[in-house]
Structure 1
Amino acid sequence: MRKFFLLFISYIPPGSTSAVYKKHFDNIDRIATLPEYNHYYICVIGDFNLPNLIWSENDECKLVPLSINSDIEVILLDLVFISDDLNVNLSQTIPLLNNSEHHTAINFYISNYNYENYSLYNASNSLERKFNSNNLNMINSHLNNINWKSEFQNNNLSANFIKFRNILSDTLNNFVPLVHKKLNSSPKWYNYRLKKLKNAKNLAHKRYKKSGSLVDYTFFCRLRKEFVFLSKFLYCNYVQSIESNLKTNPKQFWKYINSKRKSVGFPSTMHFNTNSSSEPVEIANLFAEYFQSIYNSTSTDGVDDNYLKSLSSFIECYDFKINIDDVFKLLSELEPNYKPDILGFFPIVLRHCAENLSTPLTDLFNQSLSSGVFLDD
């Protein structure tokens, strides 16, 4: 049964060549036929600008088009491509903006998909999990009742990992609500007094602009001076706090450094010797060339040959197993972070439920080691 939903929005300008359409539909077909997306519903909706084109069905087609504008003749301007096992209803509705002659406002409803079944790792950036001690205890109790041996019935590491992740996802959906994030536009060093002073300063400035009075201007200048002084004072304390906590909280330090940067990420173009490139593959080759120039592969200075031989035989040994106590210890020592990691797992959940999660994780690690297979995830 499919559990997740991928929604793509497309636009192809009028008069585009057939090569543009072919590349676009080839990409859709490639995604729809990939094994790792078998548990995904796929929907592509957009403006394709194909007037008077007659669609011919293909039995091998993974995605079925629904024409929104199809009164008398087939006009494939706005299209919805859906997975063949999705039930979609399209109907005209009252437009929020002025209606277009060629683009009718529609209701788009999928009748056989559970909209509340948010996945573990694709929740909107405007939403976050509302954890508390009560629902963490309920998660732990629920996981305690799961028979992981019966869940991991085969030796397919990838299938078992997906099973593990889906169980955690369903557990979070059942016990931990999703709430809208409280957006804070103020800098980190602002406190209640500074925010209140800023509001008073802005009101005083509006009053002066409206009246032009010298008294109102003097009052505004006094508030502005107080605001600037307090803001600088709090900022200096904030920076000193980051410096003093650098060893214990390096994440806060780098978050501050990144916030001061004008650009985020790697440079668009990288240079090495006389070569430069902005293509990812060529950039990787430039790094490889650099590392080859400074690395001596024939040098084994300071390394005992017997140690290298023993290390080689150790690597070839498939009897190595991870101990469940070690996994439990590592999970218990995780930082109680309420934000998901890159895979969508919440450290606070892994730590709180370490006793019940150490068994399946140990099984997955050992299955990976014994089979010599390492997941891309």
Structure 2
Amino acid sequence: MAAVPISTSASGEESLSHLYYQNVCGMNSNIDGYLLAFSGGCYDIIALTETWLDDRTQSSYLLGNEYNGFRCDRGPDNSRKLTGGGVLNAVRRTLKAHRIDDTTWNTLEQVWVSIELTDRKVFLCVIYLPPDRTRDKAITDTHVQSVLSITSKAKPCDEIFVIGDFNYPSLCWRPSHDGFMYPDPDHSTFSICALALLDGYCTATLQQINDITNENDRCLDLCFASYRDVAPSLSLAPTPLVKAVPHHPALTLALKNNDCNEYQQISYLSRFDFRRANYSEMIQALDNFDWSIISIETDVDIAVSKFSSIISRFMETFIPKTVRNKTNKSPWQTPELRRLKRAKNAAFKKLSKFGSLPLRDHFRRINISYNRLSRRCYSAYRRRIEAKLKSDPKKFWNFVSEQRKESGLPSTMVLDNKIADNAAAICNLFASKFSTVFTNEILTTEQISEAGNNVPISNGCISSINLDDNAILAAARKLKHSNSPGPDEIPATLLKKCVLPLLVPLSHLFRLPLATGKFPVDWKQAYMFPVHKKGDRSNVNDYRGISALCAVPKLFELVIIKPIFSHCQHAISDDQHGFLPKRSTATNLLCFTSYVFESFAQRSQADAIYTDLSAAFDKVNHRITVAKLERYGLAALFYTGWNLI
């Protein structure tokens, strides 16, 4: 674990966070170009309007690993048109940022984001007012209300910025001594909506600071900032992010970020490198080990704990460790490209500090070299991925799958008005959410018996399960290869490769739960991962949890599932497709469509009823489940201890 200063300033002076803004007039025609621009970006905040994006473009693919994205795409709620428009606010992950939403603002193409700097918060709104909505008084009033709502929440030290394309070419601006811009009544034409907008900003004490005009000497992109003694520094960007857009010059805004003695912990994770493990020597050592220390143990929890400790010692001996620091390195980056990126960032810092023309030209030259090499590296990376289609199809389709889904978690997350902006706090929010899903309903014996009455009583029963070496070997062959361990730190790959010398301890460990009716406590542990379902990615309520179990109980399940399934198979409906071998949702859909087509051919009616049980597996009462299994003839396998599985 290492500590590094959060701020980039060298000697206690003020550091700067840089915001880039541009109306890009469409990103969807050059997604890869923007991906490369974000991966090599010098800016802490990137605000874009007229993105023209829709739900087919994932933010994680567009922004990579360095930025959190907050988007508002065009849709039927906020526009009369279905294409074009849209705004994007990308904030570097090193900054704590979260979105501020209100359902009454859904009619606007805007995004409000709260960003925490070292000494204050910055509330940033990125907005696009299309030409056909500039005279819509309701739209203007809604936006003004959002500004006033944020103003009421801000503290005196906080800053508010509203930046975007307002499409008011009839407004002209004149500068003042403090750097703020004021409407020029002699050269401007004020519509009712424009007056309402300016009055609202005046009430919120926001003033316009952009004096950079386009080639028509008009200012379509405006930036309103909290009133201070001196206006913030807004300037023309040295180069556009991807392309120059007519009528919309790219802008940069420097935000002072007062330096403080805060330090950020950089984690260097040490983990086993199972790909470099010396399995041949490990197998020999395991084979020579005296496993009687496990075989004589009658307490299942102690036996499992001893087994895990022994395997852990062998892993320390025969499996090397690797240290990996968490970086945001893109997969196509080369050492030369990373060197150019560092030089580009250094040149940008000097340009931001001194602003001379030679420094601007120097930055542009490095930026051109970086962009040229970045495109070549990315093209070579794509060619390597495409070549995997023949040599390694799994890796190719993993790449394709990653492009279709969002990855990672936002740096700031919310659960019922509780905000978390660090890893520990975010984990606690997810723990609080997932714990509410599970139920532990207390039922009487009569209720349990009544619930199990719909299960037919089996004529036969299973009093024991064959746990010989052949059954364990057959189960190990079915175990999927994985180098990702569960809480016991034993991966499935190790069990598969070392199963022969482990037959004696595994056989004893598998017999103990069946003999004592007690499931090991360690085997109940699991790593839980949040998976986004739908909606806002920063809202914990929009996630479901999946569990990564230990590999040893997975192997135990494969050993006992075959005889149990064979015993219960006669009672399972032929229409059941879930959780059955060689059946899936695909076979279910195939049978359903065949039935519907047959109904069409016979001119008969076909009705379908769809039901969905919320968090069904999390709410299953285990005592009822055990009672049903007992009626199936599995009573001898499930003693009282199994009720707590």
Shorter-normalised TM range: 0.3 to 0.5
What TM-score does the superposition give when structure 1 sets the normalisation length?
0.46
What TM-score does the superposition give when structure 2 sets the normalisation length?
0.29
Q: Which has the larger radius of gyration?
A: 2
